[in-house]
Structure 1
Amino acid sequence: MATGWDPQAAHGDERGEWLPVLDIPAVARQRRWTVLLRWLLLLPQFVVVWLLSIAAFFVTIVGWFAALFTGRLPDGIFRFLGSVLAYRTRVGASAMLLVDRYPPFSFSAPGYPVQIELRATPLNRLAVFFRLILMIPAAIINNLVQAGWFTVGWVFWLIGIVLGRLPAPVFAATAAVARYQMRFTAYVTMLTPAYPKRLFGDEPTPQDEVRSGTRPLLLDTAATVLVVLFLLLGLAGHVVSGTVDYDDHDQAADGVTAPAVVPAR
């Protein structure tokens, strides 16, 4: 649903394509006991998200063929994939301690504090055909920044328990990760032709009206440093993991030696 904002000025990319929007209220106090038990409480939601992701995978395949021939997603597929993305985003925002309110078990959640905004627009058939290749750079960034966040997420969890809220830079950096993931998924599932971008927040402009804590999403120096840290930690984790796997492979190869020659008697 349109909001009245100028899409090119507020949420457009350099080609004028409108970027999906994530709305999360500004940082606020949270109940310490829900922070302490957050992931345990969300276990049923994780199961639902897993099941929905499986369904969305097959629907995306159907949507890919449809978009390849018609240049857009059929309305039914767009609504389903958009609803799954909204559901996943609500659960993800709760898991990342961005909101305290428990996400509902429903596709429709107009009163929930976390909302996304998508616009059904025509798709470039050539970009649809090569979507798996085009998404690789964004997939790398998405994987690195998420891995980096989860590496230090336990620190944010402890901070949330002690303070009853996230510090503003932590909130902004975490919201940047959540928004990039949402935009990446929207691109992969062809809900938008706009390539995922603005990991480091939006550029402040005079015409921007503050709609929520993430609209526009402005990162100060501390939040920007945190996002860079997420990327570096994610990269380091992959390098270490690759090194360990390589060493294990070498050790296994060294262990496979030629059978000993037993002298004949």
Structure 2
Amino acid sequence: MEMEPEKPVVAANPIRVRGDLDPDLSRWMWLVKWILAIPHYIVLFFLYIAYFVVSVIAFFAILFTGKYPRGLFDFNVGVMRWNWRVGFYSLTVLGTDKYPPFHLRQDPDYPADLEVDYPETLHRGLVLVKWWLLAIPHYLIVGALMSGAVGNAADDGANPWGLVLTWPLISLLLAVALIALLFTARYPKGLYDFVVGINRWAIRVQAYASLMRDEYPPFRLDQGPREP
């Protein structure tokens, strides 16, 4: 009797991003979500100041000890988690009408969440280059997907500066999704999966550049609400 070959074991991604689409999204609530989320923006402004300070402290801790202090690590992951929930609700996905909670903890009852596995050790030398030099290719791609770009325009006299601002891809995708939602009360699934994939890529790069993991982020869009 022939034995079936064992399937290779695939390790779980150490950075896991979840975003479950709300099946009953309001047709019009996206018009005001960004206003309703203003209290979160204010809190996140101060949290990200602390996030930067913690990252600097972690930089020196990793450089000299090879470890990211666990308390600081959990705090920064919590800030990323909070930011992802707010973005999922109001800015970068618009995938739920459920208001985000005001805390850093994991919340299995909220449709958006993320986890980053704590590394027992980190490479002391990589801390010097991974957050700027090694991550540059990802910065260029994620920047093109998530932010507008300025380029040279043809000089026709109408634009004395010869510049043009292009819309980021994610904004165009969200515009299409919102038009579909307004007229059909449905968020197109393929479009939703693609938008979440862009956000997942950006979050993985943020975690890598924030010194949380040594694994280099993959150059791919893992689409869909859950990690593949």
TM-score w.r.t. structure 1 length?
Answer: 0.67
Count of aligned pairs: 196
Q: Which has the higher strand share?
A: 2
The one-letter amino acid paired with 1:35 is W
Q: How does 1:143-154 map to 2 (within 5 A)?
A: 143-147=143-147, 148-154=169-175
Q: 1:162 to 1:42 in 2, by over 3 A?
A: farther
Distance (whole Å) between structure 2 residues aligned to residue 200 and residue 66 of structure 1? 32
Q: Which residue among 91, 94, 102 is the counterpart of 1:105? A: 102
The one-letter amino acid paired with 1:185 is Q
Maintained 8 Å contact 1:21/1:117: yes
Q: How does 1:159-174 map to 2 (within 5 A)?
A: 159-174=180-195
Structure 1 alignment gaps of length 5 or more: 1-7, 12-17, 203-211, 217-265
Deviation at 1:172, TM superposition (A): 0.5
Deviations 1:86-130 (A, max 9, x none): 111111111221222111111125221211121111211111111
Maintained 8 Å contact 2:17/2:226: yes
Residue of structure 2 equivalent to 1:214: 226
Distance (whole Å) between structure 2 residues aligned to residue 213 and residue 151 of structure 1? 20
Distance (whole Å) between structure 1 residues aligned to residue 141 and residue 134 of structure 2? 13
Structure 2 alignment gaps of length 5 or more: 1-8, 148-168
Deviation at 1:165, TM superposition (A): 3.0
- The answer to which of 44-53 and 134-143 deviates more is 44-53
Maintained 8 Å contact 2:196/2:225: no
Deviations 1:109-168 (A, max 9, x none): 522121112111121111111122112111111111112212443332222222323101
Q: Which residue among 34, 41, 63 is the counterpart of 2:36? A: 41
The one-letter amino acid paired with 2:96 is V
Q: 1:179 to 1:159 in 2, by over 3 A?
A: same
Residue of structure 2 equivalent to 1:176: 197
Deviation at 1:63, TM superposition (A): 0.6
Deviation at 1:83, TM superposition (A): 0.5
Deviations 1:34-70 (A, max 9, x none): 2222222222222222221121111101111101111
Q: 1:173 to 1:192 in 2, by over 3 A?
A: same
2:14 aligned counterpart, secondary structure: coil
Q: 1:108 to 1:63 in 2, by over 3 A?
A: same
The one-letter amino acid paired with 1:59 is V
Distance (whole Å) between structure 1 residues aligned to residue 84 and residue 118 of structure 2? 18
1:101 aligned counterpart, secondary structure: coil
Distance (whole Å) between structure 2 residues aligned to residue 197 and residue 188 of structure 1? 13
Maintained 8 Å contact 2:201/2:221: no
Deviations 1:192-236 (A, max 9, x none): 22222253227xxxxxxxxx83232xxxxxxxxxxxxxxxxxxxx
1:193 aligned counterpart, secondary structure: coil
Q: Which has the higher helix share?
A: 1
- CA RMSD in angstroms comes to 2.3
